Amino acid sequence: MLGYVLRRLAAMVPVLIGVTFLIFALVHALPGDPIAAMAGNRPLSPSTVAALRQQYHLDESLWTQYWYYMTGLAHGDLGTDFHGRPVSELIAERWPVTFNLALTAWVMKIVIGIGVGVYGALRRGRLGDHLALGFTVLFIALPGFVFAFIAQLVFGVNLQLFPIAGIADGWPMSFLLPALVIALETAAPLARLTRSSLVEVLRSDFIRTARAKGAAPARVVWGHAMRNSMIPVVTYLGLSLATLLGGAVIVESVFNLPGVGGLMVQAIQTQEGSVVVGVATFIILVYLLVNLVVDLCYGLIDPRVRRV
């Protein structure tokens, strides 16, 4: 087990190198001059520009810059923004918001997605099945911000159940509405996956065995089919949590939540390449680690892949 974890951690290194380099190169290729963006409208003397360029290694080649970054990263340094603040500090400030939002949205998504999927599988081909699936597809088709505005209007302004924006009320009140928006938007693939997986499991021989034992329908579904049908779903749920932890840009901005997604957008707008790369690196690390945890959880559900 420990050996497996260590091997998996080691395998992350090349992935991390590859992906950070890709982002690094993309940021490097962005049009525009970061120094000019930093100065805003003020004119800068050529000597100041040159000094700044040198300070931020902008006069060096891509390879050299990447080397500097990776050396820093190896020491746990994600770089600094143009004001000298460490990127890790910026992330630490915003991480609790993203974490709370992501986890709340994820749990809601599981409840809605698996609920709809199971309902559809058990009533497959009937009206309820089609309605439930149609409902989830509706939320995919609706642009995220439209739905977010509607939610704000209905639950925030008219019903006054939740705050409209901001995090003044803390968790859970400030997070429930944006989390619900994210959950509904992303529940459809989960519902479909759950439905098809459960339908397939319900056709398998061991379900017939359970029925031949005289098990009541509820026991057949919950005692035998559910856990088996969750095997492919768990993989998807892991990826989904990892994606949510990377920040939800649109929902964060509509609900004015200062999360990691907003930090990233802001950094791209102000052309602060170091922040973009630092935040991206952090998100990738979270993604890889969440995936590892999910793979380890696999064995809990499916004894066939259990590692002793």
Q: Is 209 in the site for another protein (CB under 8 A)?
A: yes
- Number of residues in contact with another protein, rule: CB under 8 A? 22
The least CB distance from residue 234 to another protein, in Å, is 12
Closest CA to 277 of 57, 112, 124, 120: 57
3-class secondary structure, 80: strand
- Measured from the CB atom, the residue of 130 and 203 that comes closer to another protein is 203
- Measured from the CB atom, the residue of 16 and 207 that comes closer to another protein is 207
Pick from 210, 277, 284, 294 the residue near another protein by CB under 8 A: 210
Q: What are the C-alpha distances in Å from 182 to residues 21, 116, 153, 154, 226?
A: 30, 16, 16, 16, 25
Q: Is 213 in the site for another protein (CB under 8 A)?
A: yes
Structure tokens at 223: 């005692």
- Measured from the CB atom, the residue of 204 and 253 that comes closer to another protein is 204
Using the contact rule CB under 8 A, the part of the chain among 36-44, 106-114, 153-161, 208-216 near another protein is 208-216
3-class secondary structure, 86: strand
Q: Is 308 in the site for another protein (CB under 8 A)?
A: no
Q: Is 216 in the site for another protein (CB under 8 A)?
A: yes
Closest CA to 229 of 122, 73, 306: 122
The least CB distance from residue 230 to another protein, in Å, is 9
Structure tokens at 306: 């259990």
Pick from 189, 219, 232, 296 the residue near another protein by CB under 8 A: 219
Q: Contact letters (x/-) for another protein, 244-283, by CB under 8 A?
A: ----------------------------------------
CA separation for the pair 239, 233 (Å, rounded): 10
Instruction: Determine the residue type at 66.
Output: Y
The least CB distance from residue 115 to another protein, in Å, is 22
Alpha helices in the chain (DSSP H): 2-29, 34-39, 46-55, 62-74, 87-122, 127-141, 144-151, 173-202, 205-212, 217-219, 226-245, 249-254, 260-269, 273-301
- Measured from the CB atom, the residue of 204 and 291 that comes closer to another protein is 204
Q: Which residues bind another protein (CB under 8 A)?
A: 203-206, 208-216, 219, 223-224, 227-228, 301-304
